[in-house]
């Protein structure tokens, strides 16, 4: 239906007869002659309908409307360019030529669109309802294409690294200790349900037991969560598992993988190896386990500065085993009252026990702070030296437990960076590994120890004694996260491959022998028959695609995303289902009939 696409014709084609097909991107009448930009997936080409070339095409061209699908035959000609008039367009690859149409066929007429495609639309619901139009925008089309390109690069890399892509079931089992599962009633097994996988974790480990050694899958995963923030009920991860590997092997593999994806998507070279820091360092220095290292503003410990302080709050904190720390937002002394209020809000949300952050601001040689006068001269000097406090800076303090201070200053640091616009250089990609995560965390609510990563994560070999001794808080895991610009791209671990250790781990997590057998019997069984040492990692493809595209939301890189109620406004999904069909799968809705709902709760 065409000889060329709409971003193909150049001056070298002048004189040729060509045929193009696509959408009318724009149309204008210049003294009775219609000019259109014809658009297809690849770009646009200008077409002009001159009566002297074809009366018929010229007549028809007056009826053209934006987004009509048209097929145009014509001759490639140079655009007019003289000393006086220049109709060429340097911004377009096809900007030096135009098609003078000899024939015009309107393939499919378009009605007036519900919104214009050349303007950003803030009404998200309208965008979603007409997603097939929203995706016609150059930005969205580029995003979808770029996602395809980086996904393909990922596959190629893993392929060449000897990994087999192996599909694991979507009709699967509930994830123990995970988020909420989506459930699927089974018709052939009355009263029973499949669950959609939150990750193919156990299947991929079983593939290692099966001896397949190197597995990957670009896998759809599902979590029935409340969709605050930028979550989707279904998402895609690059799921990787390998046998006979250590942490170093996985790190090297993933650095190559991400480099390949960013090269394919953006043409940039990602330097490797990525920097690494331990979880402890990340928390202490950046107040986050996924630090944004595009800017410094490190958290500085002031224990030595205030070792002899008589300032009550600091004294009490330090004597009680807590910490006093600060960050210097360099050059941000001009912070507005509104910004200050916002920072205080954030600090309070993060756990600051008072209403306002303690700060010191140095403006025009003057220290502005309720604190400053409390500090001794030597404390002042030490603060200035240690925090590199210079004119125009503002320093924020926090005192309390190591964890709470990290959380508060970490959040304040990130927010300052947003306010100071330190985080919006589109060419800056700061990759980072965070390693040595803790194995276990104490859940205050339940009183149980829970797995920080998941129950299959291998304890650090140096910390096995601590595990045996019940010193759970200090056992590290062989677990690692890869971070980019403050986003966790993915995480993984070396796994347990011994039945006894796995069983012990379950016991620590409060899962008794019987429950272990019911929930994890097949995995524990599998470990009895020659399970190889193995480990892996999973990367969030949606998030990577989002960062490559320079977008703020993963919805911008998913063709048909759900809204924050889990609904697809275009396809009107989810929908109601006839009772008859529900009965066939042995369920009924408790929602419509309030009586049944009450009974169910009783």
Per DSSP, the three-state class of 32 is coil
DSSP for 129-145, please give it. Answer: HTHHHHTTSHHHHHHHH
One of 96, 155, 315, 342 touching a copy of itself (CB under 8 A): 155
Residue pair 11/78 in contact by the 8 Å Cβ criterion: yes
One of 80, 307, 418, 571 touching a copy of itself (CB under 8 A): 571
Residue pair 390/333 in contact by the 8 Å Cβ criterion: no
Considering the complex, state which of residue 196 and residue 408 has its C-beta at the smaller distance from a copy of itself: 196
Considering the complex, state which of residue 66 and residue 358 has its C-beta at the smaller distance from a copy of itself: 66
Considering the complex, state which of residue 34 and residue 219 has its C-beta at the smaller distance from a copy of itself: 219
Read off φ and ψ for residue 72, nearest 5 degrees.
-125, 130
- Cβ 556 to a copy of itself shortest distance, Å: 14
Residue pair 498/451 in contact by the 8 Å Cβ criterion: no
One of 8, 77, 93, 213 touching a copy of itself (CB under 8 A): 213
Per DSSP, the three-state class of 453 is coil
Is position 244 an interface residue for a copy of itself (rule: CB under 8 A)? yes
- Distance of alpha carbon 208 from alpha carbon 19, whole angstroms: 54
Count other C-beta atoms under 10 Å from residue 430's C-beta.
15
Is position 356 an interface residue for a copy of itself (rule: CB under 8 A)? no
**Interface characters, 18-57, with a copy of itself (x: CB under 8 A):** ---x-x---------------xxx----------------
Q: What angle do CA 349, 352, 357 make, to 5 degrees?
A: 105
Is position 598 an interface residue for a copy of itself (rule: CB under 8 A)? no
Residue indicated by tokens 């030296």 = 385
- Stretch binding a copy of itself (CB under 8 A), from 176-184, 252-260, 342-350, 403-411: 176-184
Is position 502 an interface residue for a copy of itself (rule: CB under 8 A)? no
**Interface characters, 94-113, with a copy of itself (x: CB under 8 A):** -------------xxxxx-x
One of 95, 178, 351, 533 touching a copy of itself (CB under 8 A): 533
Category of 213 on φ-ψ map: left (φ > 0), alpha (ψ -120 to 50) or beta: left
One of 36, 72, 73, 222 touching a copy of itself (CB under 8 A): 222
- Stretch binding a copy of itself (CB under 8 A), from 50-58, 156-164, 385-393, 466-474: 156-164
- Stretch binding a copy of itself (CB under 8 A), from 258-266, 314-322, 330-338, 571-579: 571-579
Is position 290 an interface residue for a copy of itself (rule: CB under 8 A)? no
Q: How far is CA 158 from CA 484, 533, 539, in A?
A: 21, 20, 13
One of 18, 133, 277, 549 touching a copy of itself (CB under 8 A): 133
One of 4, 13, 127, 131 touching a copy of itself (CB under 8 A): 131
Cis peptide before 64 (omega within 30 of 0): no
Is position 115 an interface residue for a copy of itself (rule: CB under 8 A)? no
DSSP for 368-404, please give it. Answer: E-TTTTTS-HHHHHHHHHHHT--TT-EEEEEEE-HHH
Is position 418 an interface residue for a copy of itself (rule: CB under 8 A)? no
- Distance of alpha carbon 290 from alpha carbon 452, whole angstroms: 15
Q: Total residues at the site for a copy of itself (CB under 8 A)?
A: 128
Category of 485 on φ-ψ map: left (φ > 0), alpha (ψ -120 to 50) or beta: left
One of 17, 152, 474, 598 touching a copy of itself (CB under 8 A): 152
Is position 581 an interface residue for a copy of itself (rule: CB under 8 A)? yes
Considering the complex, state which of residue 164 and residue 385 has its C-beta at the smaller distance from a copy of itself: 164
- Stretch binding a copy of itself (CB under 8 A), from 252-260, 342-350, 434-442, 552-560: 552-560
**Interface characters, 178-197, with a copy of itself (x: CB under 8 A):** --xxxxxxxxxxxxxxxxx-
Question: Which candidate, 328, 265, 286, 351, places its Cα nearest to that of 485?
Answer: 286
Per DSSP, the three-state class of 42 is coil
Give, as one character, the DSSP assignment of residue 455. Answer: T
One of 104, 128, 207, 371 touching a copy of itself (CB under 8 A): 207
Is position 565 an interface residue for a copy of itself (rule: CB under 8 A)? yes
Is position 386 an interface residue for a copy of itself (rule: CB under 8 A)? no
Considering the complex, state which of residue 91 and residue 565 has its C-beta at the smaller distance from a copy of itself: 565
542 is in an annotated binding site: yes
Is position 121 an interface residue for a copy of itself (rule: CB under 8 A)? no
231 is in an annotated binding site: no
Is position 172 an interface residue for a copy of itself (rule: CB under 8 A)? yes
- Distance of alpha carbon 137 from alpha carbon 323, whole angstroms: 52
Segments in 38-109 forming alpha helices (H): 55-61
HEC assignment per residue over 155-176: HHHHHHCCCEECCCCCCECCCC
**Interface characters, 61-90, with a copy of itself (x: CB under 8 A):** ------xxx---------------------
Residues 6+ apart with CB under 8 A from 339: 419
Is position 294 an interface residue for a copy of itself (rule: CB under 8 A)? no
- Cβ 505 to a copy of itself shortest distance, Å: 16
Sign of the CA dihedral with 308 first, then 310, 313, and 315 last:
positive
One of 497, 502, 536, 556 touching a copy of itself (CB under 8 A): 497
Per DSSP, the three-state class of 263 is helix
Q: Binding site for ATP: residue ranges?
A: 223-225, 232, 488, 540-543
């Amino acid at each position: 239906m065409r000889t060329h696409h709409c971003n193909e014709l150049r001056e070298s084609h002048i004189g040729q007869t060509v045929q193009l097909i696509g959408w009318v991107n724009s149309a204008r009448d210049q003294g009775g002659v219609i000019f259109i930009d014809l658009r297809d997936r690849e770009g646009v080409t200008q077409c002009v309908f001159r009566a002297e070339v074809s009366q018929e095409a010229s007549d028809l061209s007056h009826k053209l409307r934006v987004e009509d699908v048209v097929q145009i035959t014509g001759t490639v000609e140079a655009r007019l360019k003289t000393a006086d008039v220049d109709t060429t367009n340097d911004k377009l690859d096809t900007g030096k030529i135009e098609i003078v149409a000899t024939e015009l066929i309107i393939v499919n007429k378009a009605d007036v669109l519900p919104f214009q495609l050349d303007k950003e639309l803030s009404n998200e619901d309208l965008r979603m309802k007409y997603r097939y139009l929203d995706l016609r925008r150059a930005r969205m089309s580029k995003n979808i294409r770029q996602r395809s390109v980086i996904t393909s690069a990922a596959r190629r890399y893993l392929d060449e690294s000897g990994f087999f892509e192996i599909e694991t079931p979507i009709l699967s089992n509930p994830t123990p200790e995970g988020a909420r599962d989506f459930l699927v009633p089974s018709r052939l097994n009355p009263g029973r349900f499949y669950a959609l996988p939150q990750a193919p974790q156990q299947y991929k480990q079983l593939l290692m037991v099966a001896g397949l050694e190197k597995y990957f899958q670009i896998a759809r995963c599902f979590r029935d969560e409340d969709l605050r923030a930028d979550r989707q009920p279904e998402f895609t991860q690059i799921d990787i598992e390998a046998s006979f590997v250590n942490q170093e092997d996985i790190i090297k593999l993933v650095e190559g993988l991400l480099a390949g994806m960013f090269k394919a998507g953006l043409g940039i070279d990602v330097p490797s190896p990525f920097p690494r820091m331990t979880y402890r360092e990340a928390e202490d220095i950046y107040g986050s386990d996924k630090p944004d290292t595009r800017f410094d503003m490190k958290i500085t410990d002031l224990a030595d500065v205030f070792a002899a302080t008589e300032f009550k709050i600091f004294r009490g904190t330090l004597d009680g085993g807590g910490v006093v720390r600060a960050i210097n937002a360099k050059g941000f002394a001009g912070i507005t009252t509104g910004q200050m209020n916002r920072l205080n809000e954030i600090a309070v949300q993060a756990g600051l026990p008072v209403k306002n952050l303690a700060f010191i601001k140095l403006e025009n040689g003057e220290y502005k702070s309720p604190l400053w006068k409390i500090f001794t001269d030597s404390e002042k000097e030490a603060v200035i030296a240690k925090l590199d406090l210079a004119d125009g800076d503002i320093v924020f303090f926090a005192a309390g437990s190591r964890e709470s201070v990290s959380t508060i200053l970490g959040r304040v640091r990130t927010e300052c960076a947003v306010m100071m616009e330190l985080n919006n250089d589109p060419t800056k990609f700061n990759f980072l590994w965070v390693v040595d995560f803790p194995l276990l965390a104490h859940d205050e609510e339940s009183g149980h120890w829970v797995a920080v990563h998941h129950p299959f994560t291998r304890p650090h070999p140096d910390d096995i004694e601590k595990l045996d001794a019940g010193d759970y808080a200090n056992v590290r895991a062989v677990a690692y996260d890869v971070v980019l610009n403050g986003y966790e791209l993915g995480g993984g671990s070396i796994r347990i491959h011994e039945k006894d250790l796995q069983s012990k781990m379950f016991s620590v997590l409060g899962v008794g022998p019987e429950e272990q057998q019911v929930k994890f019997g097949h995995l524990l069984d599998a470990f009895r028959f020659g399970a190889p040492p193995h480990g892996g990692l999973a990367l969030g493809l949606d998030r990577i695609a989002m960062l490559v595209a320079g977008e703020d939301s993963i919805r911008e890189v998913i063709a048909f995303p759900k809204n924050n109620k889990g609904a697809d406004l275009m396809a009107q999904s989810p929908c109601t289902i006839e009772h008859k069909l529900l009965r066939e799968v042995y369920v009924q809705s408790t929602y419509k009939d309030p009586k049944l709902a009450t009974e169910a709760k009783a």
